[in-house]
Homo-oligomer: A and B are copies of this chain.
Amino acid sequence: MPRSHGRTGRPPLTSRAEILEAARKIIDRDGWERLTMRRLAAELGIGPTTLYHHVRDREDLLIQLLNEHAQQTLRRDLPSDPRDCIVASAIAIHDSLAAWPWAAEVLTADGFLRRLGQPALEMVEAIVGAAAEAGCTSEQAVHLFRGIWYYTVGEILVRAHSDSRRAGDAHDAPDDAFFDRADLSRLPHLAGIGNRWPALAAQDTYAAALGAFVDGLLAHAGAVPRIEPRI
């Protein structure tokens, strides 16, 4: 039976910290799409399968990298007004995630929220706390956070995947090819928008829509409604 003395077994040659450091190095040097398990192992001079003794998954690795990044990026000087505090916190989370292109790969990981580090959890706390301060019950506060979270995740994921279209062919739909092969006579409004859609979709309206969402959620919860003037 093992004494509580020292550890036994073969001493490790690799540490989790080394792995994370090497991963950061690869990302900074070669770009994040070059970060594969094999390449990471080669960078460390170890066998690829050894990584799986220090990291559960590739997903696990990326989440830990993301947590480190969040710890450095998430600076908080949050407004005191509850509504503004919620909006500011969500924007901070959003911007921190949007700055990492590969965050999109792990954003929907199972139990993602549970695996967050302290700084990110403090943002969640800020949102839930501000919602409570605004008059929400704790149930309503959690639901409010989840709505914001879904919206944020969706925005980042859709944007991350449609940014890759810039590398496409240059002759992108000269005339009215956007809503192609569709019976536009039954879609009058879409036909009226026509090719302005891509330009409109490219605009960043995250913050504006977020404000509307928060106002709507607070109003539905019976909390203080505060409709902002039109944008």
The residues of A with any CB-CB pair to B shorter than 8 Å are: 104, 107-112, 114, 118, 121-122, 124-125, 128-129, 132, 138-139, 141-144, 146-147, 149-155, 157-158, 160-162, 164-165, 178-180, 182-183, 186-190, 192-193, 196-197, 200-201, 203, 205, 208-209, 211-217, 219-222, 225, 227-228, 230-231
A216 vs B215: C-alpha distance in the bound complex, in angstroms?
A: 6
A119 to B197, CA, bound (A): 19
| A154 interface neighbour in B122, B155, B161, Cβ under 8 Å | B155
Q: Is A150 a contact of B151 with CB atoms below 8 Å?
A: yes
Q: From the candidates B138, B158, B180, B192, name the one contacting A193 in the complex (CB within 8 A).
A: B138
Name 6 A/B residue pairs within 8 A (Cβ), A-sorted: A109-B161, A110-B161, A114-B178, A114-B180, A128-B190, A150-B209
Shortest beta-carbon distance, A187 to chain B, in Å?
Answer: 4
In the complex, residue of chain B having the shortest beta-carbon distance to the beta carbon of A152: B154
Q: Which residues of the partner chain B approach A193 to less than 8 Å between Cβ atoms?
A: 128, 138, 142
For A158, the chain B residues whose CB sits under 8 A away are 108, 112, 149-150, 153
**Majority secondary structure, A binding face:** helix
* Chain B CB within 10 A, most for which of A178, A182, A209: A209
Question: Once the chains bind, are B178 and A132 in contact (CB under 8 Å)?
Answer: no
Q: Which residue of B lies closest to A230 (CB)?
A: B222
> What chain B residues lie within 8 Å of A125 (beta carbons)?
186-190
Residues of B within 8 A of A196 (CB): 138
Do A165 and B200 have beta carbons less than 8 Å apart? no
Minimum distance in angstroms from A161 CB to a CB of chain B: 4
From B138, B143, B161, give the contact of A189 (CB < 8 A): B138
For the complex formed, measure the closest distance between the CB of A132 and the CB atoms of chain B, giving whole angstroms.
6
* Given A141-B189, A142-B201: A219 and B216 interface contact (C-beta under 8 Å): yes
Q: How far is the CB of A148 from chain B (nearest CB, A)?
A: 9
